[in-house]
Amino acid sequence: MASAPPSSVVPLPAFRILHSQGHTLARLGSFSPSAVSRGKSNASVIPTPNFILPTSRGTIPHITPDNARKHVAVPAVFVCLEDFVDRNALKSPIAQSNRTIRDYISLLPPLSNPAHQIPIFLSSRRSCPVPTSQPNSDNTISIVTNDGFRQLPISDYFTLVSQLKDEETVIVAPVDLPLLIPPSNGRDMTSPSKPWKHIGGNRARKMVTRNELWSVSTLKNFATQNAVIVPLLPGISVAEQGPYLDSILNVKESTRVSDGHIRRGIDGLNVLELTSPFIPESYEPVENGPASDPARDVSLTSARTVDFGKLPSGFNDVVRLNLGYQNGPHDVIAAVERGHDFVCGDWITTTTDAGIAFTFEIGGNSMTENGKKVDIGISLWEVELYAADLSALSEGCECYTCKNHHRAYVAHLLAAKEMLSWTLLQIHNIHMVNRFMSAIRDAIKHDKFVEIAADFRKKYIPQMEGVTPGGGPRVRGYQVKLAGSMTNKKLNESPFQNFSNVD
Amino acid sequence: KSALTYEVIAQCSTSKARASTMTLPHGPVETPMFMPVATQASLKGLTPEQLEDLGCKICLNNTYHLGLKPGKDVLDTIGGAHKLQSWSRNILTDSGGFQMVSLLKLATITEEGVRFLSPHDGTPMLLTPEHSIELQNSIGSDIIMQLDDVVHTLTTGPRVEEAMHRSIRWLDRCIAANKNPERQNLFAIIQGGLDLDLRRTCCIEMANRNTPGIAIGGLSGGEAKEQFCEVHVFIIVSYCTDLLPRNKPIYVMGVGYAEDMLVSVALGVDLFDCVYPTRTARFGNAITAKGVLNLRNKCFATDYSPVEEDCTCPICTPKSNGGMGITRSLIHHLAAKETSGAHMLTLHNVHYQLNLMRAAREAIIRDEFPSFIKNFFATLHGGNKEKFPQWAVNALRTVNIDLLDDSR
Ligand SMILES: [Zn+2]
Ligand SMILES: [Zn+2]
């Protein structure tokens, strides 16, 4: 963790917009996490729109690091500290390891490109965190660890992050959210499909000051060397969070500071709701409408003039993260339309856990055989359908699973509750989503995104049976009890849950 | 005509240990060899590619399990277990009988075969030698095992003799039933409990049937070794290897602890199988030359060394050498919470077993097997000879290796 030499040059921005699609807010960009090597040949650059795959306890679920390096090209991973700390964060094994988080979890560069370090989005909490029983305070973040709820001192959090990060680590600033408000009364982060209700009065003011405090310190601590992502506060109007937005912009625009380093400010916004200030509240993606729907164009035009006006223009060119749970490719398309650059890939693992292999593609033939919509995947639990099916999980797929195995094997492994089923599915599903994101980027580049999005909606049924409707956090076995005590609803409602917990 | 060739490459000049090459329809197998158990056509989370990269040339599938899922019809349609799991190397299958007797409490044995209640719907079923071979023919394994009449190792009295004779009769039925002798090698299984006379009769009778290979049965399950006078088990093994033809592979079923395998190698055994290394990985146990480590133990939480120092497996090899560079601390962090932690330990444990047999083979070829096995026991017990198990000392003395004597 050598500190960078004082520099008189403001580092290049982490995010560059390469192309915007005319009719939506979709944009093609490139993101380069390291403030130190940005612009140099050894810097990691991720094309956007893209996805970030949440890890569980630091691993890509079901995948060992050798398979990850060989067969899984994840664009970026999401790692949370609450998966690693216990009672005393600074005494936890990872803190004592004297290693970076990358080294500790053995996140290896892809074999195809050994010089590329996969970016790590490092956060205090999971992407879809389990609600905590205690509120945050100015000096502590409430987290869920392996042995229960804990208050992580903000100072410990900063110490840990500076110890664990490396150049290609993206720092996701902690977020103060009213997690205790039940979904009916606002929104907890476990049901991200509904927008937040307006948060008012004292709670809103507290959120604004606390996030200001946290985001500004995160920027001051890390922005010299790392890309920093700060939250846009949900449930609060842009006007109400004005002081917060001003502060983080001021950090961005401040020049030389006392230690001689030039800082630049935020590199990205963590957008915590779908109805973000980028777009008007009236905006709804047109389900089956023609791409050139004039009404729609009008609403989007007004989105730009009105709602972007609400956010200071300094925020237009930063990368936008949508860490909410996506309910499949339809949600991803909607997020891209709304101008989000990174989406959370938790839905890939949820689909894998449900025994489903993706078969969807975008930008190909939009017609189906009988004109009826088709599913985005196949459920390999239906062993009577696939028991002797020697075809690839998805026709023409080039992933390790499809090149070497077939539906019959994965269906057999699922029926036999063999863990390899999920490994093979996860390799395939990640590959399919990579292909999907790549096709989306290609379409934006060639101004075809609106068309292929409309074709996609015409062709595919949005929801796959067997995948948790409405999303929600992926609760791993050891968390179920904890999560269950907080909410009455089952967090994983997949009918296959009892099988996926078998080992 | 058999689909197996067996060539002895080197013979230990002190003990009965031998290094051979057994060539099967899906390639050569260098013995002594440990065969990992991929019960339901998958080895506990590892891809066939990972298993192949570990140097595994032959693995086990269980006939009982594949008979239930995916079932004979599917196997016939697909064209066998190699195609099902995309495994281009060799497969050995058991007869299914042992699993029935051990998994199903209500199994009973008659001259016809093993009677049991279907685990699906409780209807009475029967596994005959013919059924077993038919299933194994559908699986298409390179080595198939006869259905034998299994009695518990510690059984005594006329039941043992009955089982031995019945196993011989069942072997004849299996040989007659095997549709693919030109590509599937049927192995006989020697029974006879701990009775040397019964074992002798069985060895002679079964050797007369001239199967491509022979297994020594009725010795598996570590319990027999731990609860009773272990030396019996190895006297039986040694007694059988003396009587059996020298030009055929000898397989001891269900044996997989490192000490047991090495002592058996000294007694002339070529092949082993055991679920232990893969099963124990799921409980956070790492097999190492210095003994088994339970990495769930708190003391490993802050242990940043590799699972085993200088181990050349994919997880212990440092990142700088192309490995994963996994620490004990990370395995502790993942143990029992993320399946990939178990997969990583499985990689290590299977590597350990395969590597141990590779090293033994090399020692035999260099004719240094006695010092190799002495080193092994010394390392395992921290150089303390008082900790050497008596059964191992005794068994090895019968083949001129004295573990307690450094001079020979
Ligand atoms: Zn595929
Ligand atoms: Zn190892």
Q: What is the mean pLDDT of residues A223-244?
A: 84
% of chain A with per-residue pLDDT over 70 = 75
In this model, does residue A392 exceed pLDDT 60?
yes
Nearest CA in chain B to A475: B337
Give chain B positions within 8 Å (CB) of A412: 40-41, 69-70, 74, 84
- Which carries the bigger pLDDT value, residue A122 or residue A232? A122
In this model, does residue A378 exceed pLDDT 70?
yes
Tell me if residue B303 is catalytic: no
Structural contact between residues A432 and A393, judged by C-beta atoms closer than 8 angstroms? no
Chains A and B: how many Cβ contacts under 8 Å?
A: 135
Distance in angstroms (rounded) separating the CA atoms of residues A244 and A467 = 38
Give chain A positions within 8 Å (CB) of B337: 57, 146, 476-478
Q: Which of A53, A59, A500 is the best substitution to test chain B (most B C-beta atoms within 10 A)?
A: A59
Q: Give A248's pLDDT tier (boundaries 50, 70, 90).
A: confident
Nearest CA in chain B to A104: B330
Identity of the residue numbered A85: V
- The predicted pLDDT at position B1 comes to 59
Nearest CA in chain B to A389: B78
Structural contact between residues A122 and A107, judged by C-beta atoms closer than 8 angstroms? no
- Test B49 with A404 for CB contact under 8 angstroms: yes
Distances (CA, A) of B179 to A144, A381, B30, B175: 60, 33, 27, 9
- For the beta carbon of residue A493, count every other beta carbon within 10 angstroms: 13
Shortest distance between the Cα of B75 and any Cα of chain A, in A, equals 8
pTM beyond cutoff 0.95: no
Please state, rounded to an integer, the average pLDDT across all residues of chain A.
79
Q: Give B158's pLDDT tier (boundaries 50, 70, 90).
A: very high
- The predicted pLDDT at position A252 comes to 57
- Which carries the bigger pLDDT value, residue A306 or residue A29? A29
Q: Give B181's pLDDT tier (boundaries 50, 70, 90).
A: very high
Distance in angstroms (rounded) separating the CA atoms of residues A55 and A127 = 9
Give chain B positions within 8 Å (CB) of A415: 69-70
Distance in angstroms (rounded) separating the CA atoms of residues A45 and A170 = 12
- Test A106 with B330 for CB contact under 8 angstroms: yes
- The predicted pLDDT at position A338 comes to 82
Q: Give B144's pLDDT tier (boundaries 50, 70, 90).
A: very high
Q: Which ligand is nearest to the CA of B306?
A: 2
* Chain CA centroid to CA A67, Å: 22
Distance in angstroms (rounded) separating the CA atoms of residues A465 and A468 = 8
Say which DSSP state B266 is in.
H
Q: What is the mean pLDDT of residues A113-118?
A: 94
Structural contact between residues A190 and A128, judged by C-beta atoms closer than 8 angstroms? yes
- The predicted pLDDT at position B225 comes to 52
Please state, rounded to an integer, the average pLDDT across all residues of chain B.
93
Say which DSSP state A116 is in.
P
**Comparing A16-30, B126-140, B277-291, which segment has the lowest mean pLDDT?**
A16-30
Q: What is A124-135 written as a DSSP string?
A: SS-SSPPPPSS-
- The predicted pLDDT at position A500 comes to 27
Torsional class of A495: left (φ above 0), alpha (ψ -120 to 50), beta (otherwise): alpha
Shortest distance between the Cα of A476 and any Cα of chain B, in A, equals 8
Query: Which of these is catalytic: B94, B142, B149, B260?
Result: B94
Residues with Cβ within 8 Å of A304's Cβ and at least 6 positions away in sequence, in order, are: A25
Q: Which of B338, B345, B351 is the best substitution to test chain A (most A C-beta atoms within 10 A)?
A: B338
**Comparing A190-204, A454-468, B244-258, B294-308, which segment has the lowest mean pLDDT?**
A190-204
The segment with the largest mean pLDDT, out of A180-194, A465-479, B213-227, is B213-227
Among residues A414, A422, A388, the alpha carbon closest in space to that of B80 is found at: A388
Tell me if residue B94 is catalytic: yes
The reply to whether B334 touches chain A by the CB within 8 Å rule is: yes
Structural contact between residues B216 and B240, judged by C-beta atoms closer than 8 angstroms? yes
- The predicted pLDDT at position A122 comes to 98
ipTM, two decimals, is 0.96
- Test A476 with B337 for CB contact under 8 angstroms: yes
Q: Which ligand is nearest to the CA of A431?
A: 1
In this model, does residue A288 exceed pLDDT 90?
no
Q: What is the mean pLDDT of residues B267-295?
A: 96
Cα–ligand 1 centroid distance for A398 (angstroms)? 6
Cα–ligand 2 centroid distance for B306 (angstroms)? 7
Say which DSSP state A59 is in.
B
Q: What is the mean pLDDT of residues A142-153?
A: 88
Cα–ligand 2 centroid distance for A105 (angstroms)? 16
Shortest distance between the Cα of B283 and any Cα of chain A, in A, equals 10
Q: What is the mean pLDDT of residues B154-177?
A: 94
- The predicted pLDDT at position A264 comes to 62
- The predicted pLDDT at position B264 comes to 96
Tell me how long chain A is.
503
- Test A56 with B304 for CB contact under 8 angstroms: no
Cα–ligand 1 centroid distance for A405 (angstroms)? 9
Indicate the Cα dihedral angle A222, A227, A232, A234, nearest 10°: -90
Closest CB to A59: pick one of B42, B329, B334: B334
- Test A404 with B86 for CB contact under 8 angstroms: yes
Name the class of domain A15-359.
Answer: alpha beta
Q: What is the mean pLDDT of residues B166-183?
A: 98
**Comparing A131-135, A377-381, B66-70, B86-90, which segment has the lowest mean pLDDT?**
A131-135
Residues with Cβ within 8 Å of A370's Cβ and at least 6 positions away in sequence, in order, are: none
Identity of the residue numbered A338: R
Chain B, 69-98: which have a CB under 8 Å from a chain A CB?
A: 69-71, 74, 77-78, 83-86
- The predicted pLDDT at position A487 comes to 36
For helices B390-397 and B231-243, angle between their N-to-C axes, nearest 10 degrees: 20
φ and ψ of B22, to 5 deg: -105, 120
- Which sequence spans correspond to the domains of chain A? 15-359
Q: What is the mean pLDDT of residues B81-87?
A: 98
Residues with Cβ within 8 Å of B398's Cβ and at least 6 positions away in sequence, in order, are: B234, B235, B238, B267
- The predicted pLDDT at position B103 comes to 65
